[in-house]
Amino acid sequence: MPLYDYRCPNCDSKEERNVPIEHRDDQRCLACLSWLERQMAAPLGRIAGRAVQGGGPDRFTADMLGIPLKELPEGLKTR
């Protein structure tokens, strides 16, 4: 079962709960019985890589379009 972070809008209590996915949005606060708000958690994992000489926003755009950097249109280059 996934672990979710919840916050109560009335009493401002915070807690983590192991809840089945189908019941993740219908949780109540144990203190005041109001509906809990599910909080967004930080993503699990990390993107690792290395800096490429001559990289940057223009290089990223060219890579996403699948074209060489020198063929990147002027309208898509950063100033």
Indicate the pTM of the whole model. Answer: 0.52
Residue type, 52: V
Sign of the torsion formed by the C-alpha atoms of 34, 43, 65 and 60: positive
| Tokens 């249109």, located at residue | 73
Place of tokens 């890579």: 63
Conformational region of residue 10, where left means phi above 0, alpha means psi within -120 to 50, and beta covers everything else: alpha
pLDDT in tens, 29-78: 999 999 999 998 777 777 666 666 666 778 888 888 888 888 888 888 88
pLDDT at 55: 65
CA atoms within 13 A on the CB side of 26: 4
CA torsion sign, 9 to 14 to 15 to 21? positive
